[in-house]
Amino acid sequence: MKLFCLAFPMLFVVHVLSGHRAAQQPPPASAVTLETVLKSMDAAAAKFNTTQANFEWDRYERVINEVDDVQLGTIYYRRTGKDVEMKADIKTAGASRDKVKPEPQFVLFTQGKVQRYLPKADQVTVYDVGKNRSEVEAYLVLGFGGSGQDLVKAFDVTYQGPEVIDGVSAGKLQLIPKSERVRNMFAKILLWIDLDRGISVQQQFFEPDGNYKLAKYTSIHVNEKIPDEVFHLKTTGKTQTISPRG
């Protein structure tokens, strides 16, 4: 589905929310199992309200064996009733981390639609997810408020062991999509779940051709108030809106 390939943030963004960091320590790595990680995600999902984080999204090209696209910015989530809204503010982009330059664009998911705004072109592209809304939202909360039990419904999940990501003790999960359609886009997905807070601090999406996308999240703020205006696109009176089919 074109929609999944359109908005990288929608497939990546994976932080299960748990409120402020608890005082208790995460369990010893030797005591962690798949059930331990899934239960931490369940507990975090029950408290999900909002989240905000800085991100770095890197795309690796298998043929050249190096990064060929880097995007830096801030991502926002909030739950409104039974729905989830997402806004990604991409501030800089480039072929590598040391070559990024200002390249603003904004991706908003709300009310069953994905909107991508390019300020330089002053153009908004709108994709209506239609009957795929529930599926799209399920991927939006793949760790961003999604429970461990929902995870095992959509994926074959295995625990890959403990890893330390930027000083955070994490449990590594491998996800194999049960849906053939999704497997045609992503052969497998890796999540690194913070064992203390039950949130994902890193994600990796492998495409069938061997290319992959890596997402890292820092400065994560959980269940703090996010102004309503964040979830709107600041367009101009001359902004062109297009709605491609398919």
Between the alpha carbon of residue 188 and those of residues 21, 117, 175, the distances in Å are 29, 29, 6
Tell me the average pLDDT across 35-52: 92
Domain count, the chain: 1
Query: Where is pLDDT greater, at 232 or 134?
Result: 232
Residue of 202 and 68 predicted with greater confidence: 202
CATH number at residue 200: 2.50.20.10
Q: Which residues contact 107 (CB under 8 A, 6 or more apart)?
A: 7, 9, 10, 86, 87, 88, 90, 114, 115, 116, 117
Asked whether the predicted pLDDT for residue 187 surpasses 90, the reply is: yes
Does the pLDDT at position 119 exceed 90?
yes
Write out pLDDT tens, residues 151-181: 999 899 999 999 999 898 999 999 999 989 8
* Closest alpha carbon to 119 in 110, 107, 109, 137: 107
Predicted confidence at residue 246, as pLDDT, reads: 55
Higher-confidence position of 26 and 92: 92
Higher per-residue pLDDT: 100 or 142? 100
Mean pLDDT of 209-220: 91
Domain of 167 in residue numbering reads as 2-242
Nearest to 215 by CA among 161, 180, 181, 166: 166
pLDDT value at 63 more than 90: no
pTM above 0.75, yes or no: yes
Q: Do 199 and 220 touch, CB atoms closer than 8 A?
A: yes
Q: Residues 43-67: what's their mean pLDDT?
A: 86
130 versus 226: the higher-pLDDT residue is: 226
Tokens of 73: 């910015």
CA gap 19, 198 in Å, rounded: 10
Amino acid at 118: L
Region 93-118: mean pLDDT is: 90
What are the tens digits of pLDDT across the range 123-139?
999 998 877 777 777 67
Indicate whether 16 pLDDT > 70: no
Q: Which residues pair with 6 in a beta bridge?
A: none
Q: Is the pLDDT of residue 11 over 50?
A: no
